[in-house]
Amino acid sequence: MELKWYNRLRWKLFFLYFAISFVPLVIFSLTMNTVLENYFEARNEQNLLYQANKLAGTIKSNNYLTDPALSVKFSNDLDEKSTELSARIIVLDKDSVVIADTNRSETDKILIIPEVLDALQGSAAVNLREDTGKIYASAGIDDQDGQILGAILLVYGSNEIYEMLASLSHDWLFLTIFISIIIAVIVYITSSRIIKPLSRLVDSIGKIADGDLRERVDIKNKNEIGVLGNAINIMAEKLESEDSSRSEFVSNVSHELKTPLSSIKVLSESILLQDTAPEEMYKEFLQDINSEIDRMTNIINDLLSLVKLDNRESGLNLKEINLRKMLIGIMKTLYPLAKVKDIELTLEADKDIAIEADETKLSLAISNLIDNAIKYTPAEGVVKVTLENDHQNAFISVMDTGIGISEEEQPKIFNRFYRTDKTRDRETGGTGLGLAITHSTVLLHSGSIKVLSKEGSGAAFIVRLPIKQGKEEK
């Protein structure tokens, strides 16, 4: 059966942690053993040689070899020393005959081994015999004149070292197993602590992906996973609000298109039902139908512009454009509209300011603002457009002396289809999409837009556009 992802992750984490802690432990204990072994051997050989020399000195200074009266004390001394060193002590005369043996087995026998011969020649020796596993250390015993009187031989069963080392590695083994178990438990607990919230995250993401946009991740941790969970919640909130604004948008579109369609239906039916309608009535009704069709066309054109702006793949056709020239062009086309209402339309732009922008889209965005200003300013009012800049940004302001926008409504006017209470019923021919188009366009240019207004005393829209795309500060 295939393992679930979190079980695979758990095993991966487990092996990783385990390898990281367990492998060094094993390497450490193995090298430790060899190092200790070498150290103990070296130390023992040197120590034994030192003890042999020291004992030879004691025998010499106590005259143990020359004074037969001291033989009992000598023998006791040797036994004591033998126990202390855990070594067999053999003393030989200058003819290699054993005078004393703490094991009592070799007494009076002749013992000819290289260490003894070396010692009788006056040079102390120490050897580890691989065959017996014992260390032999010897030293010559001389008299006051430096004449060799005999030799001393210490035999140390170095097996003891191995026994000690064996017991040590036994301890090591237990310690290693013990530590490994502790590590395994810790690793299991930690990996669960990582995996549980992760699997909860994955569950929630799965539900969100399946369309349950109200699902939220419930993670209290303040760690990385908590941060991730938080980010996912923010994303889910965005998705949910996108979703609801999309349904709202669709219902708005349907509603906006339904109104002209119903009027067309009523108008055409009333003509159809009258058998003998006068020609003027036909004309009047057809004119009304025509203007409803114009309204629908406007809405659909605006919607198409918005869809293009939303579809980021179509992107911006960026070119260096001269904002002053662009504004002069817009003013020319809108001037007739202002003239009809006897509105004073002015442009204040004394510098050529070049920015990188999509001229067609930006032109439409700014036209919308000036068009609104003319639309929502009563006859004989003033609409003033200004162009300014600082090091990084260009600023276009559109100010009017019109009906203004109340503070509560200001945040909503950039929403699609939103129209303020004051203008909703008026026959201004608006679609409620103009500011949404302007807003999206300005955002696409990495700029910003704000509105300053007081109900009844005009409005000012200020657009900020970075001069170089992609280089403005966050």
Q: Does 439 bind ligand ADP (CB under 6 A)?
A: no
**Which range, of 24-32, 92-100, 136-144, 411-419, touches ligand ADP by CB under 6 A?**
411-419
The CB-of-426 to ligand ADP minimum distance in angstroms stands at 9
Q: Does 149 bind ligand ADP (CB under 6 A)?
A: no
The CB-of-400 to ligand ADP minimum distance in angstroms stands at 5
Residue reference for tokens 């070292």: 161
Comparing CB distances to ligand ADP, the nearer of 137 and 369 is: 369
The residue at minimum Cβ distance from ligand ADP is 430
Tokens found for residue 195 = 């995996």
Tokens found for residue 423 = 């203008």
List Cβ<8 Å contacts ≥24 apart for 422-428: 423/376, 428/375, 428/376
* 286-305: contacts with ligand ADP (CB under 6 A): none
Strand ranges (E), 340-471: 344-348, 354-357, 382-389, 393-400, 448-453, 459-466
* 364-383: contacts with ligand ADP (CB under 6 A): 368, 372-373, 376
400, 442, 444, 464: which one contacts ligand ADP (CB under 6 A)? 400
Tokens found for residue 235 = 């994303």
How many Cβ atoms from other residues are within 10 Å of residue 394's Cβ?
Answer: 21
Q: Does 197 bind ligand ADP (CB under 6 A)?
A: no
Task: Tell me the C-alpha distance between 335 and 24, whole Å.
Answer: 84
Contacts with 417 (C-beta within 8 Å, 6 or more apart), sequence order = 249, 252, 253, 256, 431, 432, 433, 436
51, 367, 420, 440: which one contacts ligand ADP (CB under 6 A)? 420
The residues with which 347 forms a beta bridge, in sequence order, are: 385
**Which range, of 231-239, 303-311, 322-330, 396-404, touches ligand ADP by CB under 6 A?**
396-404
Comparing CB distances to ligand ADP, the nearer of 62 and 415 is: 415
Report the amino acid identity of residue 159: N
Contacts with 405 (C-beta within 8 Å, 6 or more apart), sequence order = 413, 420, 451, 453, 455, 459
Comparing CB distances to ligand ADP, the nearer of 129 and 412 is: 412
Q: Does 331 bind ligand ADP (CB under 6 A)?
A: no
The CB-of-338 to ligand ADP minimum distance in angstroms stands at 13
Q: Does 447 bind ligand ADP (CB under 6 A)?
A: no
Positions touching ligand ADP (CB under 6 A) are 368, 372-373, 376, 400, 402-405, 413, 418-420, 423, 430-436, 459
